[in-house]
Amino acid sequence: MRMKILLIHPDMSFYGGAELVIVRFVNFISKEHDVSILTKSVSKEIKKELKNIKIITPKTKNKDNIKIRKFLENFIELRKIFEEIYNNYDVINVHNFPAEYVPFIPKPLSENVVWYCNEPPMPIYFSKSIFSKILRKIDRFIVRKYLKFSAVADEFNAKRFEKIYGIRPEIIHYGIDYEFFSKGKKKKNRKDFVLIQVATLTPLKNQIRSIKVVENLKEKIPGIKLFLVGWGEENYTKFLKDYVKMKKLEDNVIFTGNVSREEVRKFYKMSDIALFPVKSQGSWLSPFEALSAGVFVIVSNQITCKDIIKKYKLGIVTNNFERAVLKVYENKEYFENEVERAKFWIKKNLTWKNFSQKMISLFEKCVDKNLQ
């Protein structure tokens, strides 16, 4: 059944992990379905990669610097457009907060809505502000009453989703760009032992923990270095750089800034271990991309993809990063073989074809139920 699908994402001006999922997904399904994207704005890089996809954006650009007002104005703009076009589509696929509200506030307009929940809007559940308390009540009400079809990437997110909303979502793993990251050979015969963390520099990604690993092991591992790859929040980046300077780690820790995916792959090919000491938000794709590039991964007990890594023995799940890094350093040949086994599993299981087919099945289930 050929469907007309409207995907809603609040803002695609930054090419992060959530945006990559959307690009790969819509490019795959657009061969058999008509797909449009409703969003506030789209970066030139994303626009260039989208093929045969209609992109719908508001004509006016919101330049308000007040966060709450900007949030509300952007939502209102998306809702206005949605009211004019929703009848043209068979399925509404919402991503990333507050996209899941667009079909339902101030009144529900469509029943054929499927939410791919990268993660619930956790900031409103952590914050004690009055605005967040109001949003929590609205959030639970909308999801419980109107969103009958939802999916998440893994068991951790499924349990978190069920705890918040009392609904069990489908589990549909993301795909990984295995072919891209596996290209090229690892650089060998190096004197340095290189760690890498690829992620936006924010407290939730916890780069300070990676830096402390280097600080604690620099006497035990000659030539230990750390690449911190990614754009950074201004205050957190300053904090990290000040810490590196204070601890005299300038020769050991390298900040690359925001780089292209080709450059990310290049840095992976230079690395021995990828560290992900992240908390329970984001960085789902990166460990599997690192493995695809031939880099062994060590992840935290909080990262949301930990259950997959632990179940299929794709890396080390721990909060004792120093012990894990030393273990890999002292048994390099063994862990190189482990990476090859992990690469084979990813190539077979974490494909965009698998992800897309399961999402389309969920769309069809949603449409069929509402036709009954």
Domains in the chain, ordered, with CATH? 4-175+352-371 (3.40.50.2000), 178-349 (3.40.50.2000)
Quote the percentage of the chain above a pLDDT of 70. Answer: 97
> What pLDDT was estimated at residue 71?
76
The pLDDT of residue 131 is above 90 = no
> What pLDDT was estimated at residue 67?
65
Inter-CA distances, 11 with 72, 181, 202, 367, Å: 13, 26, 19, 26
pLDDT category, 70, cuts 50, 70, 90?
confident
Average pLDDT over residues 193-218: 96
pLDDT category, 111, cuts 50, 70, 90?
very high
Inter-CA distances, 77 with 14, 83, 140, 170, Å: 19, 10, 23, 30
> What pLDDT was estimated at residue 308?
94
Report the alpha-carbon distance of residue 261 to residue 367 in Å, rounded.
37
- 19 vs 119, higher pLDDT: 19
Plot region of 282 (φ>0 → left; ψ -120 to 50 → alpha; else → beta): left
Inter-CA distances, 303 with 96, 177, 298, 341, 371, Å: 18, 20, 11, 22, 39
Is-cis flag, bond preceding 287, omega within 30?
Answer: no
Q: Where are the alpha helices (DSSP H) in the chain?
A: 17-29, 44-49, 67-85, 122-126, 130-146, 155-165, 178-182, 207-217, 234-246, 261-269, 285-292, 306-311, 321-330, 332-349, 352-371
- 73 vs 53, higher pLDDT: 53
Q: What is the pLDDT of the chain when averaged over all its residues? A: 92
Report the alpha-carbon distance of residue 209 to residue 197 in Å, rounded.
10
Report the alpha-carbon distance of residue 82 to residue 85 in Å, rounded.
5
Report the alpha-carbon distance of residue 65 to residue 191 in Å, rounded.
48
Using CB atoms within 10 Å of the CB of residue 224, give its burial: 0 to 12 exposed, 13 to 18 middle, 19+ buried: buried
List, as one string, the DSSP characters of 318-359. Answer: -S-HHHHHHHHHHTHHHHHHHHHHHHHHHHHHS-HHHHHHHH
- 125-129, 219-223, 249-253, 352-356: the lowest-pLDDT one: 125-129
Look at residues 70, 138, 57, 132 and name the one whose alpha carbon lies nearest to residue 105: 138
pLDDT category, 72, cuts 50, 70, 90?
confident
